[in-house]
């Protein structure tokens, strides 16, 4: 079945540093989504990408839809303590349904 591989699994950084994480698959997708999950809460949609090569920003967050359509990247600039959480990539499952497949997540820890 379709799998999304996220890396790294976890990151420990200092406040103010930039962060990069990625999501890869052996399957081609037409949509990539990035979610953030705060501790004790459900995931929240951060950025949606719909076109190969697309670069989209949301404040300090920037995500890119890889040109091969098999990967996506998320960057966070000038990290702050509230960036702590788990970041998930997601993409629609095959078959044209509304189902989403999620990666296992990248857990981010920001030290003040």
Partner 1 sequence: DAGVIQSPRHEVTEMGQEVTLRCKPISGHNSLFWYRQTMMRGLELLIYFNNNVPIDDSGMPEDRFSAKMPNASFSTLKIQPSEPRDSAVYFCASSSGTHYGYTFGSGTRLTVV
Q: Under the criterion CB under 8 A, does residue 112 sit at the interface with partner 1?
A: no
Q: Under the criterion CB under 8 A, does residue 88 sit at the interface with partner 1?
A: yes
Torsion of CA 79, 108, 19, 100, to 10 degrees: -120
Cβ-count burial 13-23 (b if 16+ within 10 Å, e if not): eeeeeebebbb
Token pair of 5 as six digits: 């591989």
Smallest separation, CB 52 to partner 1 (Å): 16
Q: Under the criterion CB under 8 A, does residue 52 sit at the interface with partner 1?
A: no
Identify residues 13-42 at the interface with partner 1 (CB under 8 A): 31, 33, 40-42
Smallest separation, CB 31 to partner 1 (Å): 6
Q: Under the criterion CB under 8 A, does residue 103 sit at the interface with partner 1?
A: yes
Q: Are 90 and 102 within 8 A, CB to CB?
A: yes
Token pair of 71 as six digits: 């990967």
Q: Under the criterion CB under 8 A, does residue 104 sit at the interface with partner 1?
A: yes
* CB nearer partner 1, residue 31 or residue 77: 31
Q: Are 93 and 99 within 8 A, CB to CB?
A: yes
What residues line the site for partner 1 (CB under 8 A)? Answer: 31, 33, 40-45, 48, 50, 88, 90, 92, 97-100, 102-105
């Amino acid at each position: 079945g379709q799998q999304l591989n996220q890396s790294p699994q976890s990151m420990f950084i200092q406040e103010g540093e930039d962060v990069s994480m990625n999501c890869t698959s052996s399957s081609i997708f037409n949509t990539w989504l990035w979610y953030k999950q705060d501790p004790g809460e459900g995931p929240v949609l951060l950025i949606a990408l719909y076109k190969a090569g697309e670069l989209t920003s949301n404040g300090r967050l920037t995500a890119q839809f890889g040109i091969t359509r098999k990967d996506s990247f998320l960057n966070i600039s000038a990290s702050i303590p509230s960036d702590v959480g788990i970041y998930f990539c997601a993409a629609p499952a095959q078959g044209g349904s509304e189902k989403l497949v999620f990666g296992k997540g990248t857990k981010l820890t920001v030290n003040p």
